[in-house]
Each structure stands twice: as C-alpha cells, then as structure tokens.
A = this chain, B = another copy of it.
Amino acid sequence: MKFNIALLAGDGIGPEVIDQAVKVSDAVANKFGHEITWKPALTGAAAIDAVGEPYPDETHDVCANADAVLFGAIGHPKFDNDPSAQVRPEQGLLKMRKKLGLFANVRPTFTFPSLLDKSPLKQERIEGTDLVFLRELTGGIYFGEKGRRDDGETAYDNCVYTRAEVQRLAKKGFELAMTRSKKLCCVDKANVLETSRLWRETVQAMEKDYPEVEVSYEFVDAVAMRLVQWPNEYDVLITENLFGDILTDEASVISGSMGLMPSASMGADIALFEPIHGSYPQATGLNIANPMATILSAAMMFETAFNLPEEGKAIRDAVNRALAEGIVTEDLADGGKSYGTKEVGDWLASNI
C-alpha cells in the first residue's frame, strides 16, 4: 500500500523524536512492502517564527490531503507566562483540531511490567492497569465564546455542547468498549453543569443500542480520586474536553511510563498521532529525549488509521525487546547504561 503522511515535527524535542518515528515507520514499510511519502509541514512556535502563525494554511492543506498526521510536540518557553501574547503555539493546536475535525482524543494508559517501579503509585495499585480515555476535543469551553466586558474587569468563557457532539464521541466510546472489556464510564459533573446533564442523558439514551456494555456514570471529582486509588478498576472512559485535559494528564502518571504513552486524535476523515509528552525545551538538541512514545504513536497509526495490526505489532514487539534488553534513553536507565535518542531509534529500526 501507499501512504502520504503529514509530518508535523513542531518544537523542542519534537523534531528529534519524530526523526526516529520516521526511521522506524520506514523500516516497517520496507518489511511489509508499503511505500510512505512523508510530507513535512510547519507548526507551533517553529511556524510562528517562520510565517507568523502556528497553524498556517499550507500546513492545513498538507494535513487535509494526507492519509494520516504524525505529530511531535509544540510549545516554547518564550510564550509562557505572558498572558498578553497575541499569538501562541497552543492556538495552532486548537485551530488544527477544529479544522481537521479531530473530535476524539484517544489516550491509553497501560503498564509495562518492567517499568512498574517507576510509578509514584504502589505496585499493587497499578498492576494490570489498562485503560483508555476518549476525550472530546473540538467542543466545550475550549471553543465557546470567550472575552471580556466591564472594561476588562470581567472575563467569561462559554461551555457549549450539542447532543450530536456528545453522540459521536460516545459512539466511539461504546464501540471501543465492545472491543475490550465492555465497561464504559461516563465522566461528568451532572450535579452542577447543564452540559454534563446533556452528556449524561445522551449516553443513557444510547445504552439500549449496546446492551452488552455496562455503563457507569461518575462525577469528575470522584474520578480524579479513584484514578489514583484504583486505576485498574477502569477500562474505557469518555468525557468532555476540559475534564479530559485534566484527567488524561493525571492518568498518564499512573503507570510510571509517561515517556512511552502514545495518543491519537480522530475525526471523520483523518486521524493524528502524537506522544502525550510535551516539547521538553530543556532537552532540545541534546539527543537524550525518549523517542518511544512517538514511535508507539506510529504503531497506533498503522493499527488505527491504516488498519494494519501486524505492522503495529512489529513496532510494539521491537519496543518491548528494547526495554527488556536495556536499549533505552537515560530516563529509563536507572543510572545504568543509556543510549541516545538517535541510537534507540536506530536499534528499533534495525530490529523490526
């Protein structure tokens, strides 16, 4: 098969880790007889510096015409702590999600047996944890009307959801639950928010279409607690944009393998794959960043966007072997021998 993949390296360590994912993806394509054409495009602070905005139209065209998007990371310290900055890398991210219609962010959290001791949680609490958040990504308070009134003394942000937006996200949740343990948790704040009541009633009405799925409804504050107490009691969780932002980041810590966690953002037409970690500016150019999360995001791309599970598995197997044999960057080396970003990428590519 032939694929065009938009390649958005972004800022900080983005370019370095993306390079390794390209290398490994090419090795997979080579082995299985596919042909990948990479289409690099600018995004984030890098795009602001080059053309004055974080998600330029040319970049959108490249993405919209690709079979999938592989994304590194964005964000640069020069834009932080400056509430008055007019252009921010994050705006590019939001614009990209909206224009590409990426309404479902898929964030798995799972454990690697050899890394259990890296978790801040006790081992008996996390053993067997394998959960997936589906976060709504193009609605809610992120995209509602926002602004100031009273000469700037009053600020407002509007949170809005339509039933159709909830349905399409929940549908993905039910479908995902059917391929897993058939347990779905709808996370909301229905005791306070009208949007949450719409979420809850919409999901309740869909239950009859998936009689095998056992659905629970929990308040976001309760989930924030229980996630840390007994993460392995959860399987598939669906939630709105802002709750998802907070809870997926909380969940990413649980397994102790943050540097290894991939994610996908899916729309009707196209999907984007990216590591959950950020642009890690301090490590830029030092050849120390862990490329595995980006490489596992490429595995998710083969599995989900191209429906090629064998190819995805080839990548996962290589990563597991690297972990077992200690071919890891310093974050996983426990003070022992460690390898550079590039060396880990090379090893994985040659072990596909």
For residue A323, give the distance in angstroms from its CB to the closest CB of chain B: 21
Q: How many copies of this kind of chain does the complex include?
A: 2
Among B158, B164, B192, B224, the residue within 8 A (CB) of A94 is B192
Residues of B within 8 A of A164 (CB): 153
Interface check A64, CB cutoff 8 A: no
Among B88, B201, B253, the residue within 8 A (CB) of A225 is B253
Would you give the 0/1 interface string for A222-265, flagging 1 where the beta carbon is closer than 8 Å to chain B? 10110111100000000000110111111011100000000000
For residue A147, give the distance in angstroms from its CB to the closest CB of chain B: 6
Cβ A250 vs Cβ B224 within 8 A: yes
Cβ A83 vs Cβ B195 within 8 A: no
| A157 and B344 alpha carbons, distance in the complex (Å) | 47
Interface check A39, CB cutoff 8 A: no
| A228 and B118 alpha carbons, distance in the complex (Å) | 13
Interface size grouping (class) on chain A: 35 or more
For residue A84, give the distance in angstroms from its CB to the closest CB of chain B: 8
Cβ B120 vs Cβ A194 within 8 A: no
Cβ A194 vs Cβ B155 within 8 A: yes
Name A residues whose Cβ lies closer than 8 Å to a Cβ of B. Answer: 81, 83-84, 88, 90, 94, 120-122, 125, 141-142, 144, 146-148, 150, 152-164, 189-195, 197-198, 200-201, 204, 217, 220-222, 224-225, 227-230, 242-243, 245-250, 252-254
